[in-house]
Structure 1
Amino acid sequence: MTSSNPPQDKMIFKCDKQAAIVSDKLLSFYKENELFDTVLIAGSDCVNIQAHRVVLCAFSEYFLEKFRTTLQPNNNIIQLKEIEASTLKLIIDFMYTGSIELSLANIDELLRIVSFLKIKTLIEGCCELIEQNISSSNSLGYLRLANELSLPTLKAKSLECIYTHFEQISKEKEILMLSKDELKDLLFNDNPYGDFEESVFLSMVAWINYDKLNRTQVTFELLSMIRFWVLTPKFIVENRKPVCKTLESYELICSWLQWHLSPETRSNDQPNYASIPRTRTEKLAVVGVIEREEICIQTFNSKENSWSIKMKTPLLLEKDLCATIVIDNKLLVVGGYHNDELTNKVQCLEMGTKDWVDFPPMKTPRLECQLADLNGHLCVYGFDNNNMPCMEIYNFSTCKWNDLQPISQPSVASRITGHNGKLYILDFNKGFL
């Protein structure tokens, strides 16, 4: 080992073989059973495996944490009885030699052990072998393993294979053995590998039917995650019966069909609904601010935690004390006063085109209107000219208003809301009705 620097009083000498020398010395100590300072007790038969603490800590975050926080300075024994001695010996050999033979025959168990010991290099090696051998026959099992051990890259590779062969894999019995959370993670991901919502729906039904006693109760939760806009009305009608076991599920199926059969959905200028993601990473809250002569639409970006003005547009009619709601990308301005008279007129702003369109007036002029979205229908609660409470509901499919049975003894302080196909009324004097 020489230096190429010219003669001088001082110099910095660097040994290019430093790491190799240390590695070779440690391996020599290991082979010759010299200078060990740690004993690992492995397996049910308590086999002793000796090693050097510095090597264990260099490769394993588990051992590093043990020596830093758990063990006393004079304690050099670590119990690992849940790991077979032969497997642990192979792992310790790898720490000294940098080489280990990996086999698909035992890769699952080895990956669990090195994940427990937090040996990053071996985790990467095991995952590389698995990813090279993922197929339609084993991808579901490797997905469960990736979820169990929190391995995102392996999970992504497994999902890619599953979605590529979903028509085949969805018919396997293994999918019926998944837990609810595993099923949701598998079926209700937004994936770029194809559109197979019918198979997703049928797989969900098969999973529920496999254990009806314990799984029927989560039908509505799973059903509400289906991308119904991708399914056809014919498919929904033909396959609705297995999931229409509760009122909530039945009402949800009805709302799907109503959406499909509504005039605006059936028109030719609709967007490609198959491209709509199942889950949204960013949501917009739309607010209509009514002023004397115009309406201002503002949006809230939850990701940036900020508001911005989307549009400003003049009102067709001058109104006071009206109510607003957004349903199916339409902003509806309902009731209130016009020319000092109570009005039954409803204004409708198409959010996409920014155009005001005609909308049928209510049967009854109303004041103090409360609005609710009831499965895509517009429900209006308010007080007429005689200060009597009354309710109407607008069906977007038939374009007609219908009266609803009024509640008994409501007050001006009542508030209404729609949820899961039911109408709730909160009276501040009486509670929920």
Structure 2
Amino acid sequence: MRLPFPGLSTESGVLYLNCNNLLEWRSPRKRLPPSSSRVRTATKARARLCGLPLLAISGPEGCSLLSRSDEDSGHQPPVVESLSSGFAFSGTNLGTMDPTVVINTLDEDEQKPAKPAELLVFDDSAHLNKVLMNLNKLRKNKQFCDVVLHVGSGQDMHEIYAHRAVVASVSPYLFELLAQKTKGTLQNQCKINGNFDISAFERLVDYAYTSRLEVPKSKMKAMYLAAAKLKVHPVTKYCGKYLVEHLTPDNCTGVRAILVESMNQELVAEVDAYLRENIAEVVKSKELQSLPHIQVELVQHSSIEMDATNNKHLCHMVLDWMRSSFDQEGVLMETLTEKVHMLYLNLDRTLHDCNDIEAGDAKDTELVQDYKRLSRRLSQPKGSKTKGRSGITTPAKPRQFLYTRSDSSGSSSDEEDRDWKIIATTSTGAHSTMGLAVVSGTMIVLSVVQRLNGPANNGDSSPEVCTTTVGYTTLPPMMSSRCGMGTAEFQGRLLVCGGYDRGECLRTVEAYNLATNRWSTLAPMQTPRGRVDATVLHGLVYLIGGSDGSKELASAEVFNGSTWSALPPMPVARSNTGVCNLDNKVFVVGGWNGKRGLSCCDIFDPLTKTWSSAAPMLLGRYQAGVACLNREVYAVGGCDSWTCVASVEKYNPITNTWTEVASLQSARRGCGVVEYNGKLYAVGGHDGVRSLCSVEVYDAQTNSWSPGPSLTSCRANVGVAVVGSRLFAVGGFNGKAFLNTVEFLDARTNEWTTFVAKSEAQPPVPCIAEDDRDSSREGSAEECR
């Protein structure tokens, strides 16, 4: 509606709505007609009309303009666009014909009521803060509080006094909870279920009363979770933003876990993007050791296939295999993480467990047969074993997808399944890959290693596969399962002495010959010794202390290759010591005397056959890994009286002092420690909760520990030794059983393996020429080419 208001003058006056619903200008000297609409002030604004300042007052019944200029402007009457509380003015300048109206909200001190005698407006901006401040004082003094929130459980229960109206206004969760509590009851006690951090919950209550939140960095995750559960969305938003902006390789997986728990998929996607960009650093972080670890080996027909494999696509195919295992075979996460799974690519273009390979099949090589014997079959419903898996729920990927160089996914789905996906992958060796994945909603670490599968030694071998492919066989197990034994390199062989199994401490001694790939027995020790360590000095094997199953031992003995002889006893009987040699002497570090961890360090001189004492360690410890590096003695991890420790210290024989160096990334006891390629390797062990597969490597130049390649089996109280160019891990306890298995670190691939090439251990397997594969004549390698 456009209404002219005639009679506008430049002198002070009033614009009013007359009985004809037209605006008229009236000088204040003239009285308004009785029929004019009185304006009740609702909104105030300042209008500059063609350079003429005007004070505009509008209300539900009309509008008035008060002139604030005495100059004669000579302007034409303006036009009112509307008469609502959101009205706008427009005017026309006689000279330029340009619109010249601007509307601004008046400041508080400029608001002038139309009739001060009849209307007073008072806006106290400090009132709200004063009310909240006083309510907070009342809460702290427990005055007029109508609800007591019980947070926690058992003896850790905390009472938080509050006012229902305040906390319910801030938290929709508490609003719903308190609304239910007030129905038909005057009960003011309210139990808050859920695993809330007490400190975070109290800070949120403070925020409800003060509108201010202070959260230390250490409490940010707990605060985010508490705010998300209580649905305090402003706090959830800003804490989540802080967490994502402060991601590091060490905390990103933990941050992702709480974001998933709160179902914040937007922030989860940002964390996943960070993981993809920084996966090479993330896989080295110690936080990954707390995640489930699934290890897979893929057998390939040739090294050409191994080199051509796209590792990213391989991980996706492994994920499909795991999903099929969950969906069709009822496999549990615990089953997938308890052993290394050997897979092969079947004719249906999917991965299958090598246990599915039938006897006599071309793929049923000795490598596969050894895997069948050594692995425990995944439990599956009866009759579910099929070669073709016709009931596969996910689309099969073609074989060339595995070997393509493109990283584009072959999936036609636009939306990735949040509960089953590969987040990020990185190459960790020539034919090994490590990645992060989500399996059935759980984040896991996935390790995939490719193995070369030699042909089966039978007449059904495929003609296109040449049998000159290097054959592999497993490292044979020890004759006795054992852990806590003395392990060393002796006369070019791997020597294992004593130790204990579930029943008793052992006297037996075994030696592994790399040339023949066989174990043999040597002369037994004079005394059964478990929880013992060994070292080799000047061609003699020294075994010091230990336990005979009933008490700690002070005795020691030495082995010359054929017989054992007694040595003078140590000053203190003890087990779980660390033993090494330095400067032609034998060092015995720490140990357990039956009551506590020891800090003492004793030295045996083989020339004088006497014991002396060095400076004690900074911390008494037992089950520590002990080794020499750069002419210094290192004591790594172990236990004090009851707790696993991550601390590491070294002994300088020149100054006779111990100094602390960089700590392990994970506390561990019963790890094997040895110098290998100029660095210290801490292998396996136990963190107080579980046996470990992880390995850490110490660089003395940088004084830092970094993750090494993981073992194929978790091993606590493991024996380690370097023989030739190989670092061996022997026996140990995996959390369920004492082990007799052995594995070694392959320096070429930087991976642990339980397989050795036959050519390294025995004469090569004869090669059958392709045109004579049905005859019994043995051909040479040249005939196969």
Query: Does TM, normalized by the shorter one, top 0.5?
Result: no
Q: Which has the larger radius of gyration?
A: 2
TM-score by length of 2: 0.26
TM-score by length of 1: 0.43
Structure (1/2) with the larger strand percentage: 2
Structure (1/2) with the larger helix percentage: 1
